[in-house]
Amino acid sequence: MRGNLNAANVPLLSNLFGRSIIIPQYDQNFQRTQFSGEDPQLDKGIPQIWYAHNCMPTGQGMQSVSYKRIVANVPGQSSFVRTYIVRDSSENKALLGITSTGKVYILSSFTSGWVDITPGGGWTGGATSIAVVNGVTYLCLSLFNIYTVNIASSSLAVAALLGVTPANIVGIGTAANYLLLHDNTTVYWSSTVNPLDFVPSLVTGASSGNPTDISGIIIGINTYGGGFIVMTTAVIVTAKYSGNTRYPWIFVGVPNSAGVADIEYSTVDGDDGSNYVWTSGGVLKITSAGAVPVFPEVTDFLAGRLFEDFDTGSNTFIRTPVSVGFKLKLCFVGSRYLIISYGISSLTHAVVYDTAFKRWGKLKTPHVDCFELSVNAAANRSWISLLGSGWNAFIGTAWRDMLTFSNLPADAKRTIAFLAADGSCTYTLFDAGDITADAVCLVGKYQLVRTETVRLEEVAVENIESGNTGNFSLTVMSAADGKNLTPSTPYLQMNTTDFRKYLANITALNHSLLFKGAFALTSLTMTFSRQGRR
């Protein structure tokens, strides 16, 4: 029989995946499919993937992925929490890094690594936000000050705002070429001529307002279509651009919306111009029609507060109850991937929804932030680029980490990037020839009929790189009672170019196949024989 590698969903908790009876019997009068994605599922009724990490869907099956380090860490630093891609009017691009202790760093083609550009004044950390207006990037340090970012000089300069007190501003945003500010209850928009002018005027258009239907504290602003959304602790409000400079925004409460606890729980520029938000009502997709609940399986998993990981050394699942809820972050990357990062006390895993294939993948890598790497960061430095830099600046940095931004657009599928607490950054590597992945994919549970055991005799796997001699393994996970797994190592009988055949001769009620390492699973076939009754 053939294995199903194209199911719409990978279960978020393996213990909730039921048994798969391949040959239906008289008590099975329902449509035999494990999950229902947005599209009709391929290969209904065939056992599927029921656990995976560091795996992403492809058009033919499931592929392992690895991570390429593109930014070196900051020696002695372990408190990075946020990063932004910023740009200027000359299309220079840079990476801003924020720490929980109030440090601000910049990395660009003008620097040889992270450079500390922390402003004076005693900011000790907190929420941050950015906005780009007329080619200028503004950085808001919540309830402290607002700055312009100068990439060429690797510096911050205080933005000379008119009509508002920066120390009262919680966050910033942008829409329709306006600079937007907000405090806990009010949204301010700038002049159409000067983005720093917030003095109320019917001539310039600068003004402020309390959004209609607001019933909570404003926690952030996101760009949305031709306007923006205002997220509060109770509801979400849209601001649609009217085209009238005197009254530019029409505030309307989003039907069926819910409260948002943190700006990190929202995405910008999702598919179809939508925004995804984690709310008190679960995962919502904010569209022009209102708030639509999506991915109920993700909502149930996150609300269930049970963390699961797979130990590749012992081939066992580790499940940990989470008493205060998961640590979360959402982002939308590459015009395609919705990434929901989660963990217990820090972000360690991420479920990834591919909006093109309408299928799920899962990543496992410790991080503090996920972001879209919109620039090409794979250009290696030359020695001349380090002219004037001292050796002490590169203590603990390997030459392979001496990479810089080239200001060129990122290549497709090299945009899912992660920031670690020490300042190092990696991106997710989808290369077909890469054999460095540390991935897991568990497929099953294969049971022919309800009342009989089954013997697994052969397994044939295609598209394992012929050069991959040590980073791929197959383990048969059999269950005598149908639930609890016992690992067995099959015998590798044939190993030719892109094809491996294993002999097993293992009898149990059902079997699952555990693949570890680097692989591109496109075809999986097995030979079974029916055995006696239980």
SS (H, E, C) 45-72: CCCEEEEEECEEECCCCEEECEEEEEEC
Burial of 40 (C-beta count, 10 Å sphere; 0-12/13-18/19+): exposed
Residue 497 lies in a domain: yes
CA distance 119 to 102: 9
Q: What angle do CA 95, 97, 100 make, to 5 degrees?
A: 170
| Residue 292 token pair | 């639509």
Report the pLDDT value the prediction gives residue 315, as an integer from 0 to 100: 94
Helix (H, G, I), strand (E, B) or coil at 15: helix
Residue 197 lies in a domain: no
Residue 330 lies in a domain: no
Supply φ then ψ for residue 260, to 5 degrees. Answer: -120, 130
CA distance 250 to 174: 15
Q: What is the mean pLDDT of each run of 10 residues along the chain (534 residues)?
A: 74 84 58 46 64 93 92 92 92 93 92 91 94 95 97 96 97 95 96 95 92 88 89 93 90 92 89 88 89 93 96 94 94 94 97 93 97 74 56 58 64 91 94 91 87 91 84 94 92 90 94 94 89 67
Q: Where are the alpha helices (DSSP H) in 306-413?
A: none
Q: At 297, which helix (H) or strand (E)? A: helix 296-304
Contacting residues for 182 by C-beta, under 8 A, at least 6 apart:
169, 170, 171, 172, 173, 188, 218, 220, 221, 230
Count of CB atoms situated within 10 Å of the CB of 124:
9
Residue 380 lies in a domain: no
What is the separation of C-alpha 321 from the centre of its chain, rounded to a whole number of angstroms? 22
- The boundaries of the domain holding residue 484 are 14-61+442-533
Which amino acid makes up residue 166?
P
Report the pLDDT value the prediction gives residue 32, as an integer from 0 to 100: 46
Residue 477 lies in a domain: yes
Helix (H, G, I), strand (E, B) or coil at 507: strand
Contact assessment for residue 174 and residue 132, using Cβ atoms and an 8 Å cutoff: yes
Q: How many CA atoms lie within 13 A of 504 on its CB side?
A: 26
CA distance 402 to 381: 6
Contact assessment for residue 506 and residue 432, using Cβ atoms and an 8 Å cutoff: no
Sort strands 520-521 and 62-64 into parallel, antiparallel or unpaired: antiparallel
Largest interatomic CA distance in the chain: 87
Sort strands 416-419 and 452-462 into parallel, antiparallel or unpaired: unpaired
Contact assessment for residue 467 and residue 435, using Cβ atoms and an 8 Å cutoff: yes
Q: At 140, which helix (H) or strand (E)? A: strand 136-141
Contact assessment for residue 89 and residue 152, using Cβ atoms and an 8 Å cutoff: no
Contacting residues for 382 by C-beta, under 8 A, at least 6 apart:
none
The CA-atom distances, in angstroms, between 81 and each of 125, 416, 425 are: 10, 17, 12
Provide the β-strand partners of residue 197. 162
CA distance 74 to 115: 9
Residue 140 lies in a domain: no
Report the pLDDT value the prediction gives residue 30, as an integer from 0 to 100: 47
Sort strands 20-21 and 439-447 into parallel, antiparallel or unpaired: parallel
Burial of 465 (C-beta count, 10 Å sphere; 0-12/13-18/19+): middle
Burial 106-117 (b: 16+ CB within 10 A, else e): bbbbbbbbbbeb
CA distance 153 to 146: 18
Task: Tell which residue, 431, 286, 377, has the closest CA to residue 83.
Answer: 377
Domain count, the chain: 1
Residue 464 lies in a domain: yes
